[in-house]
Structure 1
């Protein structure tokens, strides 16, 4: 059953499982759960960071535990490839840029396979993530990038590395990805194919940039459905990550993600 833990306000790396287990749900979490997921056995966690406030602490609704990434990891793969290219003193090749564009805009798996190998599989991803500020994400085994495991908190950290500016870019105030790399990722995430424009965009009042992921598990037949990105709502800019698993259909998972995104942004805006 969905765990109704407290809405945790996390620092960039702080998470106390013991405290989370013992905490009682506060009003914001109770409201989030009622809006997003009144019934059912699927799990859902959402994290929101308001980029227009001085706080570097996202609000996390639900337990900030590990979920399969499915295709949201493609943002992380691209960030890793760009960071490695920066280290080598050059940009992506024309072929790599073509692969990156279809990987993000159309969620092309063949392109993801090629770039996953290019970055050195899970070890390459995890080495880059240490520099990007992620603390809990573990790359998938072998070629199975979709089975990378992550938390909503870590996805906010990744989004901050892409969309944040100045002190919002990382806990230390530094930007690991250079401006050209960050702009490139932002641009691709704002050009998602129309049929894939669901997800955190449901909470947007105007602009958005996102990446979604969906995966049906062979062992259970149930769906992992996730969405991460930057939205504009009520005049504020938010980073939003919604992770779910256990939905009986993809349609159910998409509906859960969108309800959770709306509820989490509504609660964050009311803080």
Structure 2
């Protein structure tokens, strides 16, 4: 009896089906299905006309900005994602690199070595690029073999618009924005005798420069983008007591792998050069996406009909 009672209490579904009396069992309505939402399909097509118009506007605005600045200003741009490339004076190859040549020196020594740098050389490389230490650069310039060895390195990696500084003066190395971008491409894409580990070392150090030297082409970065760069700055007392200020590097983020070099000389002060470089970089970074716009179009309803 207890077992029967327990089974009756424990089975409310059975009560509904069996029930009491002679009335009909209640009808349970069928479940109503929610309407299915069909996602609309769109394809994106390059808007070449819009891109050309945006490029004309950007070239015009950059030219107007540069004309308002002191001294000479040249720059080169390449986005590895979209293939967008442009510049102004980007093949002028008499621009002093100053400390920008420190990346060249480390890269040239790695190019010579099949086993990478020893512990002391690695420490020197870190001081050269992260802190822009000149004494470390002097030591590494000697180890790499000076200007003659640097000329061989430039020839091997295809930098035809770069000339090493005379004698012990590595800071007198002259280059063009186009060659700075070529060097960045070698460090990113490989080949030319630099291993993946070599390239990671150099780019990693460029991404860790100390905060007071992180100015320059980093101004092209959007929130969340990452920058790896090397800057150069030097007084030129025999050139009307002016300054040469340069910056080149890589800015990476969603839909973007931007290589940018901005070089200036005949600047009245270091700060003026920095301000000019960041003005150019900021304008390029803000408007780069406009140069490769797309137009959305609905997908064909039955493309196989």
Alignment of 1:185 with 2:215, yes or no, is no
TM-score (norm 1): 0.81
The aligned residue for residue 74 of structure 2 is: 45
Report how far residue 267 of structure 1 moved: 5.2
The aligned residue for residue 43 of structure 2 is: none
Looking at structure 2, the residues matched to 106 and 197 of structure 1 have their Cα atoms a distance apart, in angstroms, of: 10
2:221 to 191, 204, 209: 204
Q: CA RMSD of the aligned region, Å? A: 1.9
Looking at structure 2, the residues matched to 230 and 143 of structure 1 have their Cα atoms a distance apart, in angstroms, of: 29
The aligned residue for residue 250 of structure 1 is: 270
Looking at structure 2, the residues matched to 185 and 65 of structure 1 have their Cα atoms a distance apart, in angstroms, of: 25
Q: Secondary structure at the match of 2:260?
A: strand
1:260 to 255, 264, 280: 280
Long gaps (5+) in structure 1: 1-25
Max Rg structure: 2
Q: Secondary structure at the match of 2:116?
A: coil
8 Å Cα contact 1:71-1:213 kept in structure 2: yes
- Which string of whole-angstrom CA distances, capped at 9 and with x for unpartnered residues, describes residues 159-181 of structure 1? 10112x3xxx5xxxx45311000
- Which string of whole-angstrom CA distances, capped at 9 and with x for unpartnered residues, describes residues 6-53 of structure 1? xxxxxxxxxxxxxxxxxxxx6543221223x24244111111111113
Moved more, 138-147 or 224-233: 224-233
8 Å Cα contact 1:231-1:237 kept in structure 2: yes
Looking at structure 2, the residues matched to 177 and 145 of structure 1 have their Cα atoms a distance apart, in angstroms, of: 21
Looking at structure 2, the residues matched to 139 and 73 of structure 1 have their Cα atoms a distance apart, in angstroms, of: 9
Looking at structure 2, the residues matched to 187 and 261 of structure 1 have their Cα atoms a distance apart, in angstroms, of: 21
Query: Residues 60 and 40 of structure 1: is their aligned pair in 2 closer, same or farther, counting only changes over 3 Å?
Result: closer
Q: Secondary structure at the match of 2:229?
A: strand
What is the aligned length? 233
Alignment of 1:70 with 2:98, yes or no, is yes
1:228 to 248, 251, 267: 248
8 Å Cα contact 2:98-2:172 kept in structure 1: yes
TM-score (norm 2): 0.72
Long gaps (5+) in structure 2: 1-55, 292-305
Query: Residues 231 and 147 of structure 1: is their aligned pair in 2 closer, same or farther, counting only changes over 3 Å?
Result: same
Q: Secondary structure at the match of 1:81?
A: helix
8 Å Cα contact 2:90-2:176 kept in structure 1: no
Report how far residue 104 of structure 1 moved: 0.2
Looking at structure 2, the residues matched to 73 and 187 of structure 1 have their Cα atoms a distance apart, in angstroms, of: 17
8 Å Cα contact 2:81-2:255 kept in structure 1: no
Alignment of 1:217 with 2:236, yes or no, is yes
Segments ≥4 residues shifted beyond 4 Å: none
Query: Residues 79 and 69 of structure 1: is their aligned pair in 2 closer, same or farther, counting only changes over 3 Å?
Result: same
